[in-house]
Amino acid sequence: MAETIPAGSTTDGVIQVGQPTDARVSAPASYDVADFPVPHGREEDWRFTPLERLRGLHDGTAVADGGVKVEVTAPEGVTVETVGRDDARLGKAGKPVDRVAAQAYSSFEKASVVSVPKETVLTEPVRIAVHGEGGTAFGHQVVEVGAFAEAVVVIDHTGDATLAANVEYLIGDGAKLTVVSVQDWDDTAVHVGQHTALVGRDATFKSVVVTFGGDLVRLHPRVVYGAPGGEAELYGVYFTDNGQHQEHRLFIDHDTPHCRSNVAYKGALQGAEAHAVWIGDVLIRAAAEGTDTYELNRNLVLTDGARVDSVPNLEIETGEIVGAGHASATGRFEDEQLFYLMARGIPADEARRLVVRGFFAELVQQIGIPDLEERLIAKIEAELEASVG
């Protein structure tokens, strides 16, 4: 399904003035866990999530009995701090919007803050390695980029843990921040996270989320705009294997005039009970004149038994926009592509691999870090060996 809405026009079933597309829009964001009822799986926000696999993160029974090791490698000029709960930068991007995020916020002891000074242009990425060491842990990270600075940050999740965490991105006026968040967990890990970006005036934020590992991964990227002229690009790549649950729930809140957003997520699934969920919520409020937004989700099902739920939502409260649209599609290999390659002497298995590599290539190239791109391509190759080798 694809919908495109030019400025000043309406489309039945897409514009829902006064009716939020998702419960997150109307739910009272809060730092207090008690403000969120325990989910039971019937709520809109939780109906796709297997709650029994959250290991108590959602109902208060999870106890912080484990840990994650956080190591930061940063170029000269970048400040790396470990701060207490009273640091003024914590919570600046936005409050938790569901019970797990509130549980994480109220349970962490120390937070990691990475700061890039204003007008600093980094030539090397900041690398944040988050390694699970078993058990349950709660975390909090802040990445702050000063006015007119430019930075690339890689957050790399590995190991085994049951982790609930919040990550905040504070992008100053005129700044440019690219964040690559990699979920390369062991197969037994559980990771639930809220990522909130506050985009300043004429600032640019690019997010690339890559999800391969874990038993259950549920991520909630959010974008809010602090002033006009902000731009946000949200890209995602996920490969959901046998028995895995990978869920990406995006929300872009256009409440400020003359801002842009573009979303493109692609996933491949293989194996029995592989389950991918993609929810894309975009809200254009009445004050957000001049907004330009588009969201796209594509899924490629490699084997029988895999399931995809893809739900793009678009709510528009003003007709004074540049454009807005969304598209979602799920399918198998196109026989014509396979026939074209096989007719030129390429064996069937190799042809299938070429199709999948091409499917992901455009988004992997958005990373812009050669060693990381090579690692992720190798990971995709390994997954494909299991599915079509």
Model pLDDT, residue 5: 31
C-alpha 175: how far from chain center: 21
Which segments within the chain are labelled E, that is strand? Answer: 2-6, 68-73, 79-83, 111-116, 126-145, 150-171, 176-183, 190-199, 204-211, 216-225, 231-240, 245-254, 260-269, 275-284, 292-301, 307-316, 323-331
Model pLDDT, residue 175: 98
Using CA atoms in the order 229, 295, 102, 107, what is the torsion angle rounded to 10 degrees? -90
Domain boundaries, the chain: 31-332
The DSSP output letter for 172 is: -
Model pLDDT, residue 186: 97
Model pLDDT, residue 256: 97
The answer to whether the beta carbons of residues 318 and 290 sit under 8 Å apart is no
Distance CA 95, CA 106 (A): 11
Q: What does the radius of gyration of the chain's CA atoms come to, in whole angstroms?
A: 20
Per-residue pLDDT of the chain (389 residues; tens, 9 = 90+): 333 333 333 332 233 333 334 434 445 899 999 999 999 999 999 999 999 999 999 999 999 999 899 999 999 999 999 999 999 999 999 999 999 999 999 999 999 999 999 999 999 999 999 999 999 999 999 999 999 999 999 999 999 999 999 999 999 999 999 999 999 999 999 999 999 999 999 999 999 999 999 999 999 999 999 999 999 999 999 999 999 999 999 999 999 999 999 999 999 999 989 999 999 999 999 999 999 999 999 999 988 899 999 999 999 999 999 999 999 988 876 666 666 667 777 777 777 777 788 888 888 888 889 999 999 888 888 887 765 44
Model pLDDT, residue 17: 32
Neighbours of 280 (CB within 10 A): 26
Model pLDDT, residue 387: 57
Distance CA 324, CA 326 (A): 7
First-residue to last-residue Cα distance in the chain: 32
Three-state secondary structure call for residue 228: coil
Q: Amino acid letter at 306?
A: A
Q: Kindly state the tokens that stand for 49.
A: 């999530």
Model pLDDT, residue 347: 74
C-alpha 201: how far from chain center: 22
**3-class secondary structure for 255-307?**
CCCCCEEEEEEEEEECCCCCEEEEEEEEEECCCCCCCEEEEEEEEEECCCCCE
Q: Kindly state the tokens that stand for 233.
A: 């690009």
- Please, which residues have CB within 8 angstroms of residue 309's CB and are 6 or more apart in sequence? 48, 275, 276, 277, 278
